[in-house]
Chain A
Amino acid sequence: MLALVIKDFRANWKYVVLGLAVLLTLSLSFIYTALKAPFAVDPDLLIYFLLVIVSSIVFSLLFLMIEQMYNTNMLFASLPISRKQFVVQRYMATYLQFVLALGAHFIGLQIGIYFYEVTDQTILEPIYNPHVWLLNLLAMMFINGFSMPFYFKHGLRKGILIIGLIQCFSCISFVYIMISFTEIWDTFQQLIFTIISLNPFVTIPICIASTLLVSWVSTQISISIYKSKDL
């Protein structure tokens, strides 16, 4: 299993280094740009962390693209690996890629903070808050859990298209419902604030548990899809 998980890194180490360098530069340039506009645009770093999530997911997609490009699913299916192991390793490798991506972002921020001598606590507070990074990781794992079964069912291109359409449709429906029914939006906001105000030692385990549950269900669905799939 370990050989399977690290095969992406072993075979594609140049892409890994290049991808991580891009992520690091992204965070570095964010600090540089943000300093110029004293974080007026993104005072709570919400846009930044959204960027972190999106770019880290794109980084992990890179490996799926390489797999698709070289048709290596066929190669690995001929090795002594069960299909279940193949699916599980895909999830594990993706989580590892997320952690590496977050690491690259964090290092990029540190370099930026060091060179531009950032001392503003309102900026540094979320950057040095481990809960923020953990929630980013959980959000990525959640999105991954939602997307992976589509990848195993339809392949990369069609899978991304379907997930994209579902997400677009969900966003538009969400915005429409919130605009049309303000009382629902108020309740929703209230719920978010209540959750945030709760003790993080309660909310974080709940978030971790629910993400792990989603990942487990997603893995089981992907295994059942991939087990009966013609490659």
Chain B
Amino acid sequence: MPDALTILLTTLFVHNFVLVQFLGLCPFMGTSRQIDSAVGMAAATTFVLTLSSAISYLVNAYLLVPLGIEYLRILAVIFVIAVVVQLTEIVMKKTQPMLYQILGLFIPLITTNCAVLGVALLNIRQSNNFFESVIFGFGAALGFSLVLILFAGLRERMAGADIPKPFRGTAIGMITAGMMSVAFMGFTGMG
């Protein structure tokens, strides 16, 4: 289906949520020190994002709009996200205890990942249908995962570098993220 592919590739590269729209920066900086934890976070966020964009669509279309309570949209969407995150946390605690220990605090933080809320709200604003919403959420999640894992690789490599003291840690991370964002500007104008 060409439409789905277009949405997927556009959200993945051209309108990448992290590097182009600057959403979801907290987990991007927070969970990228090691590739392993980045992969875990990427998987968890992909699951939450795809599921929450689907459920948010359903809640909006079959609950908020018929009842005429669209002004509760943000509240409802946050509620949906929180439920999905809790679900992920429970599942991960049972099935992946190792990963759960590495990610620890960050799982509940997916709730406040602005990319997750952003996707749900953008879906409604762009009046995407159910299928488009799911693809959009999945594409955004893949884009987030891609740059998070690439960024983690870069940061692991930087760990042994002779970086000037004032720039160590988050500072050089921010500069690196900026350069990645500059590189992603090459995709401007596509899609």
Q: Do A and B bind each other?
A: no
* Interface set of B (CB-CB < 8 Å, partner A): none
* Interface set of A (CB-CB < 8 Å, partner B): none
